[in-house]
Amino acid sequence: MRLGTPLPAALAVAALTVLAGAVPAAAAPGVRAAAPPPVSHCAPAAPLTQRGAERPAGPAVGLCVTVAGASMTVSASADCACDVSGTWTARRGDEDGAASGTLGTRADYPGPGTYEVTATVQVGGTPRAAAAPPAGTVTGTFTLTAPKPAPSHTIEVGSPAALTPGTTTTLTYTVARTSDDGDGSARFGLIGEPGTGIELASTDVRCVNPLTGRYPATKRSPHALDCALTDLQPGRPATVTVHVTLPADTCSTIVSKLGYWTPKGQQVAGAMLNGPTVRCG
C-alpha cells in the first residue's frame, strides 16, 4: 500500500478501534438486519524483525485488521513515506492457517476470536531501501468480536470432484443466493493453473473464456472461465456445466469464486466468495 504521510502516533502507542455511531435498532420481523459497518483494529507499531545481524534496524511497522461482514483486510504501515507490501497469516490458538492473504486485499473472515497475525513485509520507496529494501516480519495480536454473518450466496460442485490427467471431466456447479438482500446479478469465475495446458469450456451462453492482451493481439485464456449470472433468486439456484480437459501427465487445480453486489440506493456494497477447489487426483 502507498503511504503519503508518516504513521499516526496513535498507531505506534496503543491498540485502536475505529467505530462510530449508535447501535442500530432491532430489525422488524421478517426483515434482514443491516450489515454492521466495517470495524478496524490496530496493533502498536514495532521495529521490523529482519534476518541477519548485519542488517540495520528496520522501520517501525504496524498492522491493522478491518472486518467488514464476511471479509477481513489486513494492512500494514510504516513510520516513513514508503511502500509496504507483503503477505500475512492469522492463527487462532492452536488452529493453523485460520486465514491468510495479501496485505491490502480482502480475505474470508473466520469469525470471532483472538488471533496472532504475522506479516512478511518489504518496505520500499525510501533512499535507504534503494540497494536492499528492508524486509522482515511483524506480528500483532487482535481480538475480533464481530459475528461471522451467514453467507448470502453458496457455491457447490457435484461429483466427480477430482480431475484426471489425459481426460476431459465434466463438472456441474450450483450457485445459489440464500438472502433477500441485493439482486440476482453475480459473476462466477473458474480459474485453473496457467501454463499447465488445462482447458475450461462450456456451452452455457452465460460463460466465456476471458480476453487478455490488447486489440488486435487479444487472445482467450483457456485456463479460465467467466460466467455472468443475472437470475439468481432465493430458492432458484443456477447451474453451470463445465468441461475440463487436462493433458496427459499434467495436473492442475481449479478454484471457484463468486463476485456479487448488494445495492442500497446509490450506495453499493458487495463481496467475493470463495467456492470449492477441485483438485487433480
Summarize pLDDT for 33-60 with one digit per residue, the tens: 555 678 899 998 888 877 655 455 568 8
Identify the pLDDT of residue 31: 44
Query: Of residues 161 and 260, which shows the higher confidence score?
Result: 260
CA–CA gap between residue 189 and residue 240 (Å, rounded): 11
User: Quick check: 74 and 88 in contact, CB under 8 A?
Assistant: yes
Question: Domain spanning 153-280 has what CATH number?
Answer: 2.60.40.2410
CA–CA gap between residue 27 and residue 66 (Å, rounded): 25
pTM above 0.75, yes or no: no
Summarize pLDDT for 153-212 with one digit per residue, the tens: 999 999 877 899 999 999 999 999 998 877 899 999 999 999 999 999 999 999 999 999
Mean pLDDT, rounded, for 253-273: 83
Summarize pLDDT for 95-143 with one digit per residue, the tens: 777 899 999 998 888 999 999 999 999 888 755 545 567 888 999 999 9
Angle at alpha carbon of residue 200, lines to 196 and 201, rounded to 5°: 150
What is the separation of C-alpha 30 from the centre of its chain, rounded to a whole number of angstroms?
31
Identify the pLDDT of residue 246: 96
Identify the pLDDT of residue 28: 44
Average pLDDT of the chain to the nearest whole number:
82
Which of 27-31, 73-77, 193-197 bottoms out in mean pLDDT, i.e. has the lowest? 27-31
Residue labelled with grid coordinates 487472445: 219
Strand pairing report for 279-280 and 162-163: parallel
Where does the chain hold its CATH 2.60.40.2410 domain(s)? 153-280
Which of 24-33, 34-43, 67-76, 216-225 bottoms out in mean pLDDT, i.e. has the lowest? 24-33
Mean pLDDT, rounded, for 11-28: 35
